[in-house]
């Protein structure tokens, strides 16, 4: 059977190398940079920004492995995805993508996905009733070859043909033209935003300006450094105390008291009680009465309207915990210009 690699132009085929093990290739995924750029040339493509969890998948030597961006095994968390990849005719590949859950309106919903995150028991997974979809958007390895050096457009062409896309697998489509108008359309459809990618670029194992996040609203990850006691009929806790790293210093960014259901309040309080410590992890003064401090090990996804002049979050809302990102990697995201 003719390999798909043989369909590449000669100049691109010369960039293909024998691959390291798939898990090594997946160990350092390419990351996008937040940007306020809105004018793009012809060497850019545009994908939907998905509100889910980054997952890299490796099929090699008869085994399928699903890996988080920090290298944690996720096979048992998303068994239907592992099974779908194991059933593929292609038997040697490493792909990059995002696992999402859709709400009743057909929009990706991170809070819905939260019901699946952390679960590994098949019975408990089925009991959630939450179906997941794996949107695959890049190809790192195929048939024992490292294809990260060839242009993105060619990698996506190989990816489209390398796998058979049936639920729960989907190929991530793209548009060849975009900018403010396309972003406005995406926001109007309730999307989180767009990812602009340089079509001729390689897959780089770092955060890169060749992938740009164009967001409809503000939101990012924050480290949880403490919490306040609940008031009135509230259970669990009142608000989470949030921060981000500036070098090795954890800077305080404010508190978030909305976006929780009762189950989250109870479960988070239990986890935070286990992390409670006697001193503040923040370098800044936190003006809260009798706060509880916690070791900065948990990461929360938070949406908000804007940053205040004194560096606090305005109108924050809790979206969910992230178990796929290291606290030390959480920094204040500042949009890059053109």
Q: What tens digit of pLDDT does each residue of 297-314 get?
A: 999 999 998 899 999 999
pLDDT band at 338 (very low <50, low <70, confident <90, very high): low
Name the CATH architecture for the domain at 218-329.
Answer: Beta Barrel (2.40)
Mean pLDDT of 238-263: 96
Which CATH number is associated with domain 4-215? 3.30.470.30
Phi, psi at 110, each rounded to 5°: -65, -35
Whether 324 has a pLDDT exceeding 90, the answer reads no
Q: What is the mean pLDDT of residues 61-81?
A: 94
The predicted structure's pLDDT at residue 1: 46
Over residues 29-47, mean pLDDT: 95
The phi, psi pair for 219, rounded to 5°, reads 175, 145
Quickly state the pLDDT bin for 323 (edges 50, 70, 90).
confident
Predicted pLDDT at 214: 95
> What was the pLDDT predicted at 118?
85
pLDDT value of residue 2: 60
Q: With a cut of 70, say whether residue 337 has pLDDT above it.
A: no
Q: Is the peptide bond before 276 cis (omega within 30 degrees of 0)?
A: no
Mean pLDDT of 279-308: 95
Q: Annotated catalytic sites, by residue?
A: 49
pLDDT tens-digit series, residues 113-156: 989 988 999 899 999 999 999 999 999 999 999 999 999 999 99
HSE-CB for 208 with a 13 A CA cutoff: 16
Confidence at residue 165, expressed as pLDDT on a 0 to 100 scale: 97
Domain boundaries, the chain: 4-215, 218-329
- At 161-216, the pLDDT tens digits run 999 999 999 999 999 999 899 999 998 888 889 999 999 999 999 999 999 999 99
Q: Do domains 4-215 and 218-329 have the same CATH topology?
A: no
pTM of the model: 0.85
Q: Per the structure block, which two tokens stand in for 333?
A: 């995201």
Res. 336: pLDDT tops 90:
no
Residue-wise pLDDT tens digits, 79-102? 999 999 999 999 999 999 999 999
Mean pLDDT throughout 282-290? 94
Q: Are strands 218-227 and 292-304 parallel, antiparallel or unpaired?
A: antiparallel
Average pLDDT over the chain reads: 94
């Amino acid at each position: 059977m003719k390999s798909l690699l043989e369909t590449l132009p000669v100049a691109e085929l010369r960039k293909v190398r024998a691959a390291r093990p798939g898990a090594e290739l997946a160990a350092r995924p390419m990351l996008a940079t937040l940007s306020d750029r809105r004018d793009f040339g012809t060497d850019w493509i545009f994908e939907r920004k998905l509100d889910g969890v980054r997952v890299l998948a490796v099929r090699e030597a008869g085994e399928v492995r699903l890996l988080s961006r920090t290298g944690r095994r996720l096979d048992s968390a998303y068994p239907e995805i592992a099974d779908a990849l194991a059933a593929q005719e292609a038997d040697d590949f490493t792909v990059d993508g995002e696992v999402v859950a859709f709400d009743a309106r057909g929009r990706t919903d991170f809070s819905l996905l939260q019901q699946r995150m952390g679960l590994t028991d098949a019975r408990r997974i089925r009991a959630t009733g939450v179906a997941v979809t794996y949107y695959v958007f890049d190809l790192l390895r195929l048939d024992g070859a490292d294809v990260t050096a060839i242009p993105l457009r060619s990698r996506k062409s190989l990816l489209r043909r390398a796998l058979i896309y049936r639920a729960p697998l989907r190929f991530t489509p793209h548009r060849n033209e975009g900018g403010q108008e396309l972003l406005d359309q995406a926001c109007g459809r309730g999307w989180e935003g767009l990812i602009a990618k340089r079509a001729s670029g390689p897959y780089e194992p770092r955060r890169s300006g060749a992938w740009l996040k164009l967001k409809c609203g503000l939101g990012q990850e924050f480290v949880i450094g403490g919490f306040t006691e609940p008031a009135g009929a509230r259970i669990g806790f009142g608000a989470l105390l949030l921060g981000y790293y500036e070098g090795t210093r954890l800077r305080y960014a404010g508190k978030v008291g909305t976006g929780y259901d009762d189950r989250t309040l109870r479960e988070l309080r239990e986890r935070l009680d286990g992390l409670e410590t006697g001193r503040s992890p923040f370098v800044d003064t936190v003006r809260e009465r009798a706060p509880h401090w916690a070791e900065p090990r948990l990461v929360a996804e938070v949406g908000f309207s804007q940053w205040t002049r004194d560096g606090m979050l305005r109108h924050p809302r809790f979206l969910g915990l992230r178990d796929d990102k290291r606290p030390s990697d959480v920094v204040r995201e500042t949009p890059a210009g053109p």
